[in-house]
Amino acid sequence: MTEKPRRSGGKGPRRANPPSNAPEGTFKPSPTRRGRTTPPSPRREGGPVYLTDMDQAAMEELALSLGQPRFRGRQLFHWVHGRLETDLNRMSNLPGGFATQLAEEHPVVHAASVRETVSADGETRKRLLQMPDGQRVETVLMEARGPGREVDRYTVCVSSQVGCALGCSFCVTGQVGFVRQLSQGEIVEQVYGFERWLRETSPERGEGEQRFVTNVVYMGMGEPMANYEAVMASVRLLTDPEGLGLGARRITLSTAGLVPGIHRLADEGLPLGLAISLHAPNDQLRDRLMPVNRRYPIASLLGAAAKYAEKTGRRVTYEYSLIEGVNDSVAQARELARVLGGQLCHVNLIPVNVSLDPTLRSSNPKRVAAFRKALEEAHIPCTLRQSRGQDILAACGQLRYTAENSDEG
Ligand code: SF4
């Protein structure tokens, strides 16, 4: 449970440097032509193995398989995951022959950015990325400012799947349905794209002005626990000291409540943040809003969350989107307080984002304030989180949905 505390702020010193259509539990590793991925992705069977899918050990094996010494693999890892170089010809300490061999079979990255939108306040930037098979996912960069109004956090919200099978009623992605899993490379590239942009656009006023990604949240399209292997492989890549070296405490996985995944995560021994999308204080309502609750009801979810908090020492965050007249009464706030009583937890109240269902509206400020007051009176720690980037459709799945349903595509 250790972490490398490299990324403590938004600025810092410049560094030198499967489609599996079965979402849960059916991921089968398979050998690849050269090198190893972590885990190997069945989606790429017979196709190229992308370098961002490989960890350091895989790159060392790849180097050996191409007749190079092992250390060439480590150099390659540093270029791809540390310096975020996408052009093999610019990896200056690799022999030309090695770069040529790699170019034949190993593209560096999957993703190309096909659309970018920036919120009116400039603090939220959203990208639509297209993968080689034409599938699109979205990713968001959010700035957070400290008390002195300086930016002290750059958080990237990543997608973990194309679409989602869980069908939450308030969610655009859920209405689209599940398409395929993302590989670990396709996940980390969402972070790398913004990290590259932050590095390139950092004010060139000296070492202290370098900007970089400080936090990553798995809260975009998809259910991270339903793509567990690739998600954990991406976490290992992001926390690798030879890569970005993000601290595990600065990474948060969000789940709609796949209980076996929470138990598994608790056993990883990593102090990752855990956020649970709760959105209802009882099974009757949650069954309706989030079909996953019929399989894993609130009591089993809270049991898994308590184990997670105990094993990691980290309090669990409960996301609660306030929907007018559905889950936002004072009585429901009191019921929620009873349910969460005794848990090491924190509640994030979120006025719901626009969804495809016109009957689901965001709670009005008066109801939000009353709900919050009832939680606070019951000593449940909570904050009111404003949905970021409403003007650029920053809710999960909305940019992809909009792009696919407009002429611009
Ligand atoms: S809210 Fe999350 S888990 Fe639910 S359908 Fe949307 S992406 Fe899937």
- Does the fold of domain 112-404 match that of domain 11-105? no
Q: Quick one: pLDDT at residue 403?
A: 47
Ligand 1 close to Cβ of residue 219 (< 6 A)? no
Q: Quick one: pLDDT at residue 202?
A: 83
Q: Quick one: pLDDT at residue 8?
A: 46
Mean pLDDT of 350-377: 84
Using one digit for the tens of pLDDT, what is the confidence trace for 258-290?
Answer: 999 999 999 999 999 999 999 999 999 999 999
Using one digit for the tens of pLDDT, what is the confidence trace for 96-125?
Answer: 899 999 999 999 999 999 999 998 888 899
Residue 181, pLDDT > 90, answer: yes
Q: Quick one: pLDDT at residue 145?
A: 82
Q: Quick one: pLDDT at residue 385?
A: 77
Using an 8 Å Cβ cutoff, are 107 and 50 in contact? yes
Active site residue 345: no
Lowest mean pLDDT among 40-44, 138-142, 208-212, 309-313: 40-44
Task: Indicate the pLDDT class of residue 175, thresholds 50, 70 and 90.
Answer: confident
CB neighbour list of residue 99: distance below 8 Å, 6 or more residues apart: 88, 89, 91
* Percent of the chain whose predicted confidence (pLDDT) is above 70: 80
Residue 353, pLDDT > 90, answer: no
What's the rounded Cα separation, in Å, for the pair 63 and 75?
10
Task: Indicate the pLDDT class of residue 53, thresholds 50, 70 and 90.
Answer: very high
Q: Quick one: pLDDT at residue 360?
A: 77
The helix/strand/coil state of 177 is coil
Q: Quick one: pLDDT at residue 30?
A: 33
40: alpha, beta or left, given left = phi > 0 and alpha = psi -120 to 50?
A: beta
The helix/strand/coil state of 216 is strand
From the number of C-beta atoms within 10 Å of its C-beta (0-12, 13-18, 19+), residue 12 rates as: middle
Tell which wins on pLDDT, 116 or 146. 116
**What is the assigned CATH class of domain 112-404?**
alpha beta
Expressed in angstroms and rounded, the spacing between residue 4 Cα and the centre of ligand 1 is 31
Ligand 1 close to Cβ of residue 168 (< 6 A)? yes
Using one digit for the tens of pLDDT, what is the confidence trace for 298-323?
Answer: 999 999 999 999 999 999 999 998 99
Active site residue 396: yes
Expressed in angstroms and rounded, the spacing between residue 220 Cα and the centre of ligand 1 is 8
Q: Quick one: pLDDT at residue 213?
A: 97
365-377 and 330-340 helices, crossing angle to 10°: 30
Q: Quick one: pLDDT at residue 252?
A: 95
Q: Quick one: pLDDT at residue 314?
A: 94
Q: Quick one: pLDDT at residue 7?
A: 55
Q: Quick one: pLDDT at residue 176?
A: 81
Expressed in angstroms and rounded, the spacing between residue 394 Cα and the centre of ligand 1 is 14
Q: Quick one: pLDDT at residue 33?
A: 37
Q: Which amino acid is at 42?
A: P
For the question of whether the overall pTM of this predicted structure is more than 0.85, the answer is yes
Residue 409, pLDDT > 50, answer: no
What's the rounded Cα separation, in Å, for the pair 56 and 61?
9
* Domain regions of the chain by residue span: 11-105, 112-404
Ligand 1 close to Cβ of residue 174 (< 6 A)? yes
The answer, yes or no, to whether the previous bond of 39 is cis (omega within 30 of 0) is: yes
Among residues 168, 345, 382, 396, which one is catalytic?
Answer: 396
Task: Indicate the pLDDT class of residue 347, thresholds 50, 70 and 90.
Answer: very high
Residue 1, pLDDT > 70, answer: no
Tokens at 280, concatenated: 């209802």
Residue 221, pLDDT > 80, answer: yes
Expressed in angstroms and rounded, the spacing between residue 286 Cα and the centre of ligand 1 is 13
Q: Quick one: pLDDT at residue 170?
A: 81
Q: Quick one: pLDDT at residue 162?
A: 95
CATH of domain 11-105: 1.10.150.530
Task: Indicate the pLDDT class of residue 207, thresholds 50, 70 and 90.
Answer: low
Q: Quick one: pLDDT at residue 342?
A: 87
**For 183, which DSSP code?**
P
Atom index in ligand 1 nearest the CA of residue 220 equals: 7
Atom index in ligand 1 nearest the CA of residue 254 equals: 2
Residue 402, pLDDT > 50, answer: no
Q: Quick one: pLDDT at residue 127?
A: 95
Mean pLDDT of 64-90: 97
Q: Quick one: pLDDT at residue 261?
A: 98
**Tokens 């405490």, residue?**
249
Q: Quick one: pLDDT at residue 359?
A: 75
Among residues 85, 138, 143, 195, which one is catalytic?
Answer: 138
Closest CA to 356 of 311, 310, 401: 401
Strands (DSSP E) along 210-304, which ranges?
A: 210-211, 215-218, 251-255, 273-277
Residue 401, pLDDT > 50, answer: no
- Mean of per-residue pLDDT scores for the chain: 84
